[in-house]
Chain A
Amino acid sequence: MIKIKNRDPFGSIPLRLRNILSKGCQNKIVMTAVLLSLFIIPLWAQDYWNTQIISIEKNRSLLNRLREMNLDFLMEKDNRVYIVISLDDFPRLDQKNIPYIMETQNFFPYVQAERTTRGGVNGDFHSYVELEQDLFALQDSYPQIASLSIIGQSLEGRNIYALKISDNVHFDESEPEVIFIGCHHAREWIAVEIPYLLAQYLVENYSTDAQVRDLVDESEIWIVPLLNPDGLQYSIHFYRYWRKNRRDNGNGTYGVDLNRNYDYMWGYDDEGSSPYTGSEVYRGPSPFSEPESRAIRDLFTQRNFQALVSFHSYSQVILYPWGYTDQPAPDDALLDQIASEMSARIQAVNGTFYDFGQAGESLYLTNGDTTDWSYGVYGIPSYTIELPPLDYLSGGFFNSEEDIQAIFTENLPAALYLIDWSIQNSSPPPDPPPVIRRIPGRIGGIATLSPGRRAIHKSSLRQPVPESKTLKKEDSSTKIMETVRPKQVSKGQKQERK
């Protein structure tokens, strides 16, 4: 809930004019405006839902064909023409064989459906219980394309949910799979909202948005919006800046950094993670020591993902492997190209620039993190997206509630692009994966087995990446790890652990 500071409806009227307007006159103006808005808002809303914005390549032959349709031209940008089009006109576009890109989401703020849950201690951000209810609501509202699974439980017994979105969602089809993960780190509340809103957007726009429908039909999208529910609850109830999970380390300290607990290059050095339990980047006693990171590991053994995004905050950057070293990954060029495409799509929405680059080069070294693991073990493009704000003086791990939708809207095209990239670059996997638990409904949560599936694609990139360096551990007993070595940082960002 945002506090409205200026409650004066005439606050922006120059003083002289305010003096001229009598109090009665002011009241009439306000009343008239309110009455007019009662008529205008529904009209606008109706119009909004019946029209879409598309872009078409600026091409003489295409434009000639378009002119016959008598459409509303909106603008021209980057050699593309933007057009307002009614839903009835889409068949005509298809008849004339005119290729287009849906751009609506880049122009209108995404209108969020009414949340099924209300209240809550942390305003518009989700708590664990709110998220649980909202995920079930998505599944219940769109049972043909959304299916909720429990992929594990946290240390304190909370469920870790994954929402699968696809056509024929209860069957495993030979379609490429993409995973979006949120909230490894408890204090990064925005990292819960973006993957959740992505899920909501996909299911709610499936029937009306051709692009969404194509992506959902041709892929299997897995969304794990909250990997660290215990930490999130602690952050909500006790200390807003809590980062790790809630492991009792037995010596008075708590928590393991889940994003240092994956087994690829786990504990490679004490810069990218720490062996000390009190550290914010404590990597845990062993790889995958934590049930939360094991949930992702186990999901990967059962699925065949083509790409991964792990949402974090803050600093507005897109990071790709390697994080444990500043040496480039074997597929550095491709990873960079995809990151570049995603960054450009984010910037196209409202001009917000997300820098991008190799993690080990951009912010600081990290070992045992999600993206090094998913790229290093499964060979798939893997990205850490550090969401806004830009730096700690702009809010750090805080985001205002009114920014949630804006941040989602700017990230949406990048997410859709990555899904599309996975579809375009998929290849069959070697073996059909086993089945996993699925929850058919809110009550009971009876686990059922989904049918097995045929062998599917394997990405051209999907080759286990050879370790470029032998795993090496230093004697931690002689070093005190307080901070990590800051690496090159773009745009003057502070080297704070995200």
Chain B
Amino acid sequence: MKRSISKSIILLFFMISALLMKLCWPQSTVGQYEDEAPLRTWNTFGFSTASSLAMGEMRFTLGSDCSVSHSNPALLSALPKFTLTLNSSLDRASLFKYSMVNTGVLYTDGNSSLGLLAFDFAGTSVRIKDWSFALSIALLENYVRPSVDLSAYTSQGDIARTFVFDQDGHLKNINFSVARRLFGSLSAGIGLNYAYGFLEKDYEDDWVISSYTISDRKHHEFESFYINGGLVLDLTPKIKVAAVFRTPFLKKADSESLYRYYSSSTDTEIRTEASERSEYKQPLVAGLGISYTFSSNLRAASELTFYDWSEYSIVYFGEEDEQERDFKDIIKVGAGLEYISSLKIFGAEAEIPFRAGVSYDPQPMKAPRSAYLYFSLGTGIHWQKIFLDMGMLVGGESGSGNSLRAKKLTLSLSFRM
């Protein structure tokens, strides 16, 4: 019996994985110029481990691990005395226009897709009486783009020109949160965040046949601080409501630029270099959530999140308005459902959760208007102190005309004591 259950879980895991591979569509792009756009979506508040992702990224009123400290630290009060969570994800997205691709220099027949496998969260929490503390690190944003490596040949078969483009980067976030149960049914939490990372974009255009090369490299080292926090109120034994926020903050960067010309036949080198500060004014985020517990094994949640994108602005290499973004405020909405069945493994009670969710994720650009609709599913096994969860999200974009696709598969492992 135990063996067959284990086999079933493993089989289910691989079936979902296979389904994801089959559905390997492409993802988003919407504005053609935004190098700093995170892969898939601009709206990257908080972090979703598998249980959250599977419920349509619900994380304001329900939380099963310390990743909630990135969205609503107040939920730490509801966690066991000690938790440790690790998470890894396979994030796939399709893009059409990005950088010089499909904006005039390089053309693709359709969307390009990109898959990223990352160990993207580690965190722990402890609860001491009414106080809870959490320390975690999460990979919040990825700036990677599909790379380009092209060669053109002469009629004699010699290389005439090579072209290489690459963009890489990410934003990681270290969060330290404190939460306290204020009185019976109200909990509050606040988190201090240190975000850091980089964005680097390079291309090299080598005109081999003409003996010269042009290249362009731009590198940004990010660093920023911000605060997030939240409240959770148990209105009734079955209804919880929550309010969360993230302060607006400046994602500051030390930026470097180098344009270079080099002719190998004349040994001529011309460099145009710059080094300046850049700033990306990240928006205020505020959210509301509600959850309802139908029974001991069935609960549902719904959330809406406001992103103040109309205030988004950039100082690029010390120049204001150098790259204007015509963004609008957006509200992301979602809902999720969780059903928990139980069984016995090695004589011990085990839980098998089944989760589903849906979310609508509008993007901030005014033109073209663009939004993702995601559907998510997930399951797992909770056995004694070990929680193994898996979630997947698939979505499609409409509005840009490029039918972008996205999907994410997440696997979480938690220990709770």
Interface of B (DSSP majority class) = strand
The residue among B255, B272, B323 with the most chain A CB atoms within 10 A of its own CB is B272
**Residues of chain A with a CB closer than 8 A to B271's CB:** 2-3, 400
Asked whether A241 is an interface residue with its Cβ less than 8 Å from the other chain, the reply is yes
Q: How far is the CB of A134 from chain B (nearest CB, A)?
A: 12
The residue among B203, B277, B316 with the most chain A CB atoms within 10 A of its own CB is B316
Cα distance A393–B270 when bound, in Å? 11
Q: Look across to chain B and name the residue whose beta carbon is closest to the beta carbon of A399.
A: B270
**Residues of chain A with a CB closer than 8 A to B318's CB:** 118-120
Cα distance A392–B205 when bound, in Å? 14
The residue among A119, A123, A125, A253 with the most chain B CB atoms within 10 A of its own CB is A119
The residue among B270, B318, B321 with the most chain A CB atoms within 10 A of its own CB is B270
Q: Which of B210, B257, B263 contacts A121 (CB 8 A)?
A: B257
Asked whether A353 is an interface residue with its Cβ less than 8 Å from the other chain, the reply is no
Closest 3 CB pairs of A and B: A119-B318, A254-B104, A398-B261
Name the interface residues of A248-280: CB closer than 8 Å to any CB of B: 252-255
Q: How far is the CB of A180 from chain B (nearest CB, A)?
A: 24
Q: Contact: A238 with B100, CB < 8 Å?
A: yes
Q: How far is the CB of A443 from chain B (nearest CB, A)?
A: 14
Q: Contact: B322 with A240, CB < 8 Å?
A: no
**Residues of chain A with a CB closer than 8 A to B257's CB:** 121-123
Q: How far is the CB of A495 from chain B (nearest CB, A)?
A: 12
Cα distance A238–B323 when bound, in Å? 12
**Residues of chain B with a CB closer than 8 A to A124's CB:** 272
Q: Contact: A237 with B104, CB < 8 Å?
A: no
Q: Contact: A254 with B103, CB < 8 Å?
A: yes
Q: Contact: A123 with B273, CB < 8 Å?
A: yes
Q: Contact: A246 with B317, CB < 8 Å?
A: no
Cα distance A122–B257 when bound, in Å? 7
**Residues of chain A with a CB closer than 8 A to B104's CB:** 234, 239, 242, 244, 246, 253-255
Name the interface residues of A392-443: CB closer than 8 Å to any CB of B: 392-396, 398-401
Assuming the contacts A237-B323, A241-B205, asked whether A122 and B272 have C-beta atoms less than 8 A apart, the reply is: yes
Cα distance A423–B287 when bound, in Å? 69
Asked whether A384 is an interface residue with its Cβ less than 8 Å from the other chain, the reply is no
Residues of chain B touching chain A, judged by Cβ–Cβ distance below 8 Å, are 33, 35, 99-100, 102-105, 107, 203, 205, 210-212, 214, 216, 218, 255, 257, 259, 261, 263, 265-266, 268, 270-277, 316-323
Q: Look across to chain A and name the residue whose beta carbon is closest to the beta carbon of B109.
A: A252
Name the interface residues of A87-132: CB closer than 8 Å to any CB of B: 117-125, 127-130
Q: Contact: B323 with A123, CB < 8 Å?
A: no
**Residues of chain A with a CB closer than 8 A to B317's CB:** 119-121
Q: Contact: B272 with A401, CB < 8 Å?
A: yes
**Residues of chain B with a CB closer than 8 A to A401's CB:** 272
Cα distance A50–B4 when bound, in Å? 98
Q: Look across to chain A and name the residue whose beta carbon is closest to the beta carbon of B211.
A: A393
Q: Look across to chain B and name the residue whose beta carbon is closest to the beta carbon of A254.
A: B104
Asked whether A36 is an interface residue with its Cβ less than 8 Å from the other chain, the reply is no
The residue among A237, A246, A252, A392 with the most chain B CB atoms within 10 A of its own CB is A237
Assuming the contacts A120-B317, A129-B322, A392-B210, asked whether A252 and B107 have C-beta atoms less than 8 A apart, the reply is: yes
Could you write out 15 A-B pairs with CB less than 8 Å apart?
Answer: A1-B273, A1-B274, A120-B317, A120-B319, A121-B257, A121-B276, A122-B272, A237-B35, A238-B33, A240-B216, A241-B214, A253-B104, A393-B210, A394-B263, A400-B271
**Residues of chain A with a CB closer than 8 A to B203's CB:** 239
Cα distance A239–B210 when bound, in Å? 19
Cα distance A125–B257 when bound, in Å? 13
Q: Contact: A240 with B103, CB < 8 Å?
A: no
**Residues of chain B with a CB closer than 8 A to A398's CB:** 214, 259, 261, 270, 272
Q: Which of B214, B268, B319, B323 contacts A240 (CB 8 A)?
A: B214
Q: Report A343-384 CB contacts with B as 1/0, cut-off 8 Å.
A: 000000000000000000000000000000000000000000
Q: How far is the CB of B100 from chain A (nearest CB, A)?
A: 5
Cα distance A393–B205 when bound, in Å? 15
Residues of chain A touching chain B, judged by Cβ–Cβ distance below 8 Å, are 1-3, 117-125, 127-130, 234, 237-242, 244, 246, 252-255, 392-396, 398-401
**Residues of chain B with a CB closer than 8 A to A125's CB:** 272
Assuming the contacts A127-B319, A129-B321, A130-B319, asked whether A393 and B266 have C-beta atoms less than 8 A apart, the reply is: yes
**Residues of chain A with a CB closer than 8 A to B319's CB:** 117, 119-121, 127, 129-130
Q: How far is the CB of A217 from chain B (nearest CB, A)?
A: 36
**Residues of chain B with a CB closer than 8 A to A117's CB:** 319
**Residues of chain B with a CB closer than 8 A to A130's CB:** 319
Q: Contact: B274 with A121, CB < 8 Å?
A: yes
Cα distance A1–B276 when bound, in Å? 12
**Residues of chain B with a CB closer than 8 A to A238's CB:** 33, 99-100, 103, 105
**Residues of chain B with a CB closer than 8 A to A240's CB:** 205, 214, 216, 259
Q: Contact: B270 with A395, CB < 8 Å?
A: yes
Cα distance A392–B207 when bound, in Å? 11
Q: Contact: A393 with B107, CB < 8 Å?
A: no
The residue among A238, A239, A242 with the most chain B CB atoms within 10 A of its own CB is A238
Q: Contact: A239 with B105, CB < 8 Å?
A: yes
Cα distance A394–B263 when bound, in Å? 8
Assuming the contacts A240-B216, A241-B205, asked whether A121 and B261 have C-beta atoms less than 8 A apart, the reply is: no
Q: How far is the CB of B104 from chain A (nearest CB, A)?
A: 3
Assuming the contacts A118-B318, A119-B319, asked whether A394 and B268 have C-beta atoms less than 8 A apart, the reply is: yes
Q: Which of A127, A253, A395 contacts B322 (CB 8 A)?
A: A127
Contacts A240-B205, A394-B266 aside, 13 further interface pairs with beta carbons under 8 A come to A2-B271, A3-B271, A123-B273, A238-B103, A239-B104, A240-B214, A240-B216, A242-B105, A244-B104, A252-B107, A253-B104, A392-B210, A395-B263
**Residues of chain B with a CB closer than 8 A to A254's CB:** 103-104
Cα distance A398–B263 when bound, in Å? 11
Q: Contact: B268 with A395, CB < 8 Å?
A: yes
Q: Look across to chain A and name the residue whose beta carbon is closest to the beta carbon of B320.
A: A129
Q: Contact: B259 with A122, CB < 8 Å?
A: yes
**Residues of chain A with a CB closer than 8 A to B105's CB:** 238-239, 242
Cα distance A294–B134 when bound, in Å? 62
Assuming the contacts A121-B218, A254-B103, A392-B210, asked whether A237 and B33 have C-beta atoms less than 8 A apart, the reply is: yes
The residue among A242, A396, A401 with the most chain B CB atoms within 10 A of its own CB is A396
The residue among A123, A130, A246 with the most chain B CB atoms within 10 A of its own CB is A123
Assuming the contacts A239-B105, A398-B259, A399-B270, asked whether A393 and B275 have C-beta atoms less than 8 A apart, the reply is: no
Q: Contact: A395 with B261, CB < 8 Å?
A: yes
Cα distance A255–B104 when bound, in Å? 7
Q: Look across to chain B and name the residue whose beta carbon is closest to the beta carbon of A123.
A: B272
The residue among B105, B107, B316, B319 with the most chain A CB atoms within 10 A of its own CB is B319
Q: Contact: B100 with A239, CB < 8 Å?
A: yes
Cα distance A238–B212 when bound, in Å? 19
